[in-house]
Amino acid sequence: MTGTIFDIQKFCVHDGPGIRTTVFFKGCPLRCPWCHNPESRSRKRELLFYPEKCTGCGSCRELSIERGELVCPQGARILCGRRVTTDEVMAEVRRDFDFYAAGGGGVTLSGGEPLFQPAFARAILKACRKEGIHTAVETCGITDSEALASVAEYTDLFLFDVKETDAARYKAYTGADHATVMRSLSFLNTLGKAVVLRCPIIPGYNDREEHYEEICRIANTTESVLRIELLPYHALGEGKYTALGIDEPKIMPPREEEVERILAYLSARTEKEVRRA
């Protein structure tokens, strides 16, 4: 089984319990304006160019033509996205098995949207399960129940995005249907799958009390939900927009005091644990 990814990152500590390796899938059905992995949106391979790193050596021209792949000694030109097999992913992932075993860690599929390539996601998760590796999937929930069920069979934990709870705003921001998100969450609940609600805080978009209250209502009425995790917006990914030749989002990260206030607001309205990711 093959699929398209754009990265495999080791020692991830914000993508589930313990020390994890995160496999980043390429391709996403959404177009969130705050996305910090813009290179994950398209399923196709894309060129990122960082002009400040380019020394004009010309190696990219010669070597790339010869070898059919992009080579840049300075890392100024990066071809994002590669086709890999399940075996290739597992060869990389299983290297850190001792770290998973010692600290309750494992593998997380993220992206992009793993459920955009459900068969590939399932194959990796199945292989991890066979080797005794804990699995987690980070998803926006925009998928069908068949794909979700096929992946859920081998998933120990879902990191479920709650980006916006107002349907009209959700459509305007992401281009997708919020009802699909709620159906997916409900489906996971009926399967009894452990879920962590992952809630980005995006000033100017979803920083409203109605939204926070709705998050709490969802957490309180969905038995599967273990906790709420907040992800304050950060600007670390903005350089990638420029490298892709698209406009950067003009979003200011929330102030620390505001994040603390939101944490307290949510904590007062739910019995479930509320913390930062």
Partner 1 sequence: MKWNRSSEGVLDMALCDAHLYQYVTDRYFDRLNTLSPISRAAEIFRLETESLSVELLEDDEFFGRLFFVSDPPYPVRCFSDSVISQEAAVLINAPMAHGSRTVVDKAHTIADYRYLLENGLSAYRERIEHELTAAPGNEMLLAMRTSLTAVEALAERMRAAATENKNSCPRAGEIAEALRQVPFSPARSFREAVQAVWLVHFLLPVAEHAYYSISFGRVDQYLYPYYERSLAEGMTRDEAKRILFQLYALLNDYTDAACLLNIGPKYNALSELIIECQRELALPAPILGARIAESTPDSALDLLVDETLFTRGQPTFYGEESCVRALLEKGVPEKQALCFSNSSCMGISLAGEEYDSMWGCVLSVSAILEAAVNRGRLLSKEVTVPGIGEVTDLDSLYTAFRGAAEHLFAICAASYEARADLVERYDPDPFLSLLTEDCIARRCDRISGARYHNATVECMGMINAADGIAAIDTLVFKKKRYTISEMTEAVRGNFKDAARLRAEIAACPKYGQSPEGDAYAVKVAEILQEVIRRHRRGNLFYCPSLHTLTANVQYGAEWGAGYDGRPAGAPFAKNAGPSDEVRRKDPTSLILSAAGLPQHKFFGGQPIDLNFSADMIRNHKQKIVVLIRTYLKKGGLQLQVNSLSAKLMRAAVRDPEGHRDLIVRRGGYSVYFNDLSEAQKQSFIRRTEIEEGNV
Q: Closest separation between CB of residue 201 and partner 1, Å?
A: 17
The yes or no reply on residue 44 touching partner 1 (CB under 8 A) is: no
Give whichever of 168 and 236 is closer to partner 1, judged by the CB atom. 236
Q: Closest separation between CB of residue 88 and partner 1, Å?
A: 12
Q: Closest separation between CB of residue 102 and partner 1, Å?
A: 5
Give whichever of 71 and 149 is closer to partner 1, judged by the CB atom. 71
Sign of CA dihedral 243, 171, 263, 276: negative
Give whichever of 19 and 121 is closer to partner 1, judged by the CB atom. 19
Token code pair at residue 129: 């399960």
The yes or no reply on residue 95 touching partner 1 (CB under 8 A) is: yes
For residue 129, the one-letter residue type is R
The yes or no reply on residue 18 touching partner 1 (CB under 8 A) is: yes
Token code pair at residue 187: 């489906």
The yes or no reply on residue 57 touching partner 1 (CB under 8 A) is: yes
The yes or no reply on residue 242 touching partner 1 (CB under 8 A) is: no
Number of residues that bind partner 1 (CB under 8 A): 24
Binding site for partner 1 (CB under 8 A): 9-11, 13, 18-19, 55, 57-59, 62-63, 71-73, 75, 95-96, 98-99, 102-103, 105, 276
